[in-house]
Amino acid sequence: MIRQIARLAKPVPALSPDAVAIAVYADAKGDLVTAREAGFEGVACVDDAARAFQLYCALWHKTNMAWAKQWCDGLLDFILAMQRDDGAWCNFIKDWDGTINDETRTSVAGGHFWQARAMLALANGRTYFDDQRIEDALRRGALHFDGDEVPADVRALHVLTAIELRNEDSRLGYSTIASWCDEIAGRRNGDVLMNSPDEQGRPHLWGHLQEFALSRASVTLERPDLLDVAVRSATIVFEDAIRSGFDAPMTSPYDVATSVATMTELAANTKNLKFEELASLARAWFHGRNSASRPVYDINHGRVADGIDKGRLNASSGAESNIEGAIALLDEVIAHAVTLDVKDIEPPSAPESKDR
């Protein structure tokens, strides 16, 4: 996983001298693929960089390895460079020269998901870095929490960010967290927490962190009612999917990583062994407990496939799959990292950076 992330990464010195970004997609041969799902998007994005930043912060915290800190520095520079003066983030760069895409709907400044993920990543990162740039970016970015109606799956990221920042930013204090949690809890179909108002049927799993957020907030706010809402919804949304080996027409590593995170969080807060079991079963998907009966995580080549489509392994291997896979299997990543050649897992650097 971290070997594939290193293969996908490139320096972007035009944005910032030490900035590093991660290519969105790579095909089965390993060739990089430009994102074009919503018209032309670009080669790398804040959405992935933010999640990778959280991954490498965790790796650095747990291992104290220099290469993990180098990743944190490079990704942080990229994320900060993508924020405009008004606090809104653009998502994609069009090319490795660092041309920012401020036009495509999946990249325009202030878009819900990349704005929220950048804020959450920096809120987490301030735990590890005493960096005024992070403080300034968070202050500007907080202005964009309001505005148009926010989908519940994005609001969950806002809740998690506010929990991180609540002691420092009164605007994101307990009353705001409680209001946002009530908003999420109110967007239900029966007991099921939905992602967006127009969603039909069972909610998609990727990015579905509402139960995770309500569980964590229940501790912060001392509100067991929020944990009850989370448990009832999670039992319906996740349990059958996990026990079936995610037997669906299409399953991505992000679907499974979200499931692992939610079950792990619920296990910690409920002390219910069922959720520990479900988290373990979900992780096993990466090792072959799936509809293709094949490992999605190829440990020999250090890469996570992009998922399983109609019972067949999708051999492409992009940024999201490897980042989310590494987060879901973090203990395995840490154990394996010490056996790897640092040259295979360290971030790339621009030629002038190497000479410094």
How far apart (Å, rounded) are the C-alpha atoms in residues 30 and 114? 26
Pairing of strands 9-11, 20-22: antiparallel
Whether 188 has a pLDDT exceeding 50, the answer reads yes
User: What residues form DSSP beta bridges with 32?
Assistant: 26
**Which of 159-168, 255-264, 345-354 has the highest mean predicted lDDT (pLDDT)?**
255-264
Whether 9 has a pLDDT exceeding 80, the answer reads yes
Which residues are within 8 A (CB) of 172 and not within 5 positions of it... i.e. 6 or more apart? 142, 145, 161, 162, 165, 166
The backbone torsions φ and ψ at residue 188, rounded to the nearest 5 degrees and listed phi first, read -125, 150
The backbone torsions φ and ψ at residue 298, rounded to the nearest 5 degrees and listed phi first, read -90, 100
Residue 151 lies in a domain: no
Report helix, strand or coil for 218: helix
**305: domain range?**
2-144+238-355
Residue 292 lies in a domain: yes
Strand runs labelled E in the chain: 9-11, 20-22, 25-26, 32-33, 44-45, 92-93, 188-189, 192-193, 250-251, 297-298, 303-304, 307-309, 312-314
Q: 197 falls in which pLDDT band (50, 70, 90)?
A: confident
CA angle 268, 62, 218 (to 5 degrees): 25
How far apart (Å, rounded) are the C-alpha atoms in residues 130 and 292? 46
pLDDT tens-digit readout, 283-335: 999 999 999 999 999 999 999 999 999 999 999 999 999 999 999 999 999 99
Whether 2 has a pLDDT exceeding 80, the answer reads yes
Residue 23: name the closest of 355, 303, 268 by CA: 303
pLDDT tens-digit readout, 164-185: 997 655 567 889 999 999 999 9
pLDDT tens-digit readout, 215-242: 999 999 999 999 999 999 999 999 999 9
- Tell me how long the chain is: 356
Residue 161 lies in a domain: no
Residue 185 lies in a domain: no
Residue 289 lies in a domain: yes
pTM for the predicted model, two decimal places: 0.95
Pairing of strands 188-189, 192-193: antiparallel
How far apart (Å, rounded) are the C-alpha atoms in residues 64 and 58? 10
Would you say 242 and 257 are in contact if contact means Cβ atoms under 8 Å apart? no
Residue 108 lies in a domain: yes
Residue 38 lies in a domain: yes
User: What residues form DSSP beta bridges with 313?
Assistant: 308
Would you say 14 and 98 are in contact if contact means Cβ atoms under 8 Å apart? yes
The one-letter code for the residue type at 200 is Q
- In this prediction, residue 351 carries a pLDDT of 65
Residue 58 lies in a domain: yes
Whether 13 has a pLDDT exceeding 80, the answer reads yes
- In this prediction, residue 186 carries a pLDDT of 95
Q: What is the mean pLDDT of the chain?
A: 94
pLDDT tens-digit readout, 51-75: 999 999 999 999 999 999 999 999 9
Q: What is the mean pLDDT of residues 268-288?
A: 98
The torsion angle over the Cα atoms of residues 20, 25, 31 and 34, rounded to 10 degrees, is: -90
Q: 199 falls in which pLDDT band (50, 70, 90)?
A: confident
Radius of gyration over every alpha carbon of the chain, rounded to an integer in angstroms: 19
Q: 47 falls in which pLDDT band (50, 70, 90)?
A: very high
Count of domains in the chain?
A: 1
Q: 92 falls in which pLDDT band (50, 70, 90)?
A: very high
How far apart (Å, rounded) are the C-alpha atoms in residues 165 and 227? 21
- In this prediction, residue 356 carries a pLDDT of 43
Q: What is the mean pLDDT of residues 123-142?
A: 94
pLDDT tens-digit readout, 325-349: 999 999 999 999 989 999 999 999 8
